[in-house]
Amino acid sequence: MSEKLNQLKEILGEVSDINHAASVLGWDQQVNMPRGGAEARGQHLATLGKIAHQKATSDEVGKLLADLKQEFAGSDSDDAALVRVAARDFDKATRLPSEFVAEQAVVTTASFEAWAEAKKKSDFSIFLPHLEKVMGLMHKYVSYFPPADHPYDILLDDYEPGMKTIEVKDIFNKVRPQQVKLIKAIRESKQVKADFLHKKYAEKKVWDFSEVIISKFGYDFSRGRQDKAAHPFETSFSVNDVRITNRYKAENPLETLFSGMHEAGHAMYEQGVNPLYDRTPLANGVSSAVHESQSRMWENLVGRSLPFWEYFFPELKKMFPSQLDGLSAKTFYKAVNKVEPSLIRVEADEATYNLHIMLRLELEIGMLDGSIALKDLPEIWNSKMREYVGITPPDDAHGVLQDIHWSWALFGYFPTYALGNLVSAQLWERINKDIRGLDDQIRKGQFDSLLNWLREKVHVYGRKHDPQDLIQKVTGSKIDSAPYVRYLTKKYNDIYGL
């Protein structure tokens, strides 16, 4: 290994350490920190962010990368990939002044606290001044980059490298009418029974059962943990410390099981990255859509499948005999896949979920280009919900304030949720060609073959390959909506007898 590569790895390792220390503080902010600590925590994160940014964008790093790009030109080795990804990160980071990075940490920390209060009180006006500051940051952020075909391209590229706004719109335009057609057919069919899902279920029992499920999946609790937070998420500090959070809602208690599966899907991805990549830019998932494909696969294609519940339902029934008395695994399977317009994105069924994302994409583009005034967001949100999903939120908490992302300045992230759905189905078709009898394995509670396939084909590579290249390498094509439409149609034909 060249001396210059060693020098680069040492610096990038220190940057990684600082960023992960900041991530620990971010995790603590949502899990343990008292509300009074918000201002100080913002300063902690701002300081760490500024130090990491200065170190990552130093002249020394720039010189090392320039030399190493020549040294590794034409190579497809791990070290060549590290240099390529680090150079891409460096180019983006050097466009941002350290003062901007520190300002963003302060603004978003206060914004998150305001969002949490606004959601609790269902009062958008509490969050509005903070959202205005966040959007000011987004406009400033875009200004640091060369003009793109659309300013939203710059934000999208942070989460889905190489993807363009026009490409996302094209994909969504293809899948939307097919999903609308499917939803219309379902609405005209007899609805499935699901009232028993909303009975009282003891919180601790539900929580414990969620941990039984994700342990069976392969989430390694010796390298992770599950804690409570207002919004479920996964965070990684190293390949050996990957944590998830979850929540319990009395009005929808069993949702804890599915959010646990979802976050465990993210976490198992991070736990499966090549450990040699730790403390380097390669040590994460390659993109948000690929990451989301993992969480949605475990939550939906596995966790909402009939074979899955043929295995787990008898145990769930033993734990909750009165709530599930007289029910079969097939009845329960249909219930957890019930298609019904939902106010809350994270609780939406598979048939309507993408419509929630399409709504948010329109709003984010409008907020960025100025065609939507921030003060009008609650009204526009409600109008779009009526148009897209057919229902109107009763208040801000169930409408414009339901998601945490804007408080964190995560603009450009939402489209990757729907893209992840599409990728999950693409991968699933390939998996079922490679693993014969997968349904029978799931029916027996055996998930090793599935996880090992994902480890070998997706997880181990971290950020080594570009996302579209990885998807094509594994499935034979770039992101394609057809497998997802086939999956939805087949599944709901069975459930609703279409």
Tokens of 52: 């990491």
**CA–CA distance, 384 with 370 (Å, rounded to integer):** 17
Tokens matching residue 98 = 């350290």
Amino acid (1-letter code) at residue 292: E
Q: Which residues contact 233 (CB under 8 A, 6 or more apart)?
A: 30, 244, 245, 263
**CB 291 within 8 Å of CB 234:** no
> Rounded to an integer, what distance in angstroms lies between the CA atom of residue 497 and that of residue 466?
40
Amino acid at 303: G
Distances in Å between the alpha carbon of 495 and those of 176, 191, 390?
A: 21, 10, 22
Distance of alpha carbon 475 from alpha carbon 427, whole angstroms: 6
- Rounded CA-CA distance 221/262 in Å is 16
Alpha helices in 188-254 (DSSP H): 203-217
Residue recorded with tokens 């998930």? 447
Strands 241-246 and 234-238, by their bridges, are antiparallel
Q: Which member of 234, 263, 299, 364 is catalytic? A: 263
Cα(417)–Cα(161) distance, integer angstroms? 15
* Whether the Cβ atoms of residue 12 and residue 62 lie closer than 8 Å to each other: no
- Catalytic, 315? Answer no
Query: Is the alpha carbon torsion for 163, 288, 136, 377 positive or negative?
Result: positive
| CA 135 – CA 412 distance, rounded (Å) | 12
**Residue 33: strand, helix, or coil:** coil
* Geometric angle at alpha carbon 291, from 78 and 16, rounded to 5°: 50
Please give the C-alpha separations between residue 199 and each of 16, 177, 194, 241, 308, in angstroms, as whole numbers. 45, 35, 10, 35, 22
Q: 3-class DSSP state for residue 244?
A: strand
CA dihedral for 135, 140, 141, 147, sign (positive or negative): positive
> Do the beta carbons of residue 393 and residue 444 sit within 8 Å?
no
Closest CA to 398 of 366, 356, 363, 365: 356
Beta-bridge partner residues of 238? 241
Q: Tell me the catalytic residues.
A: 263
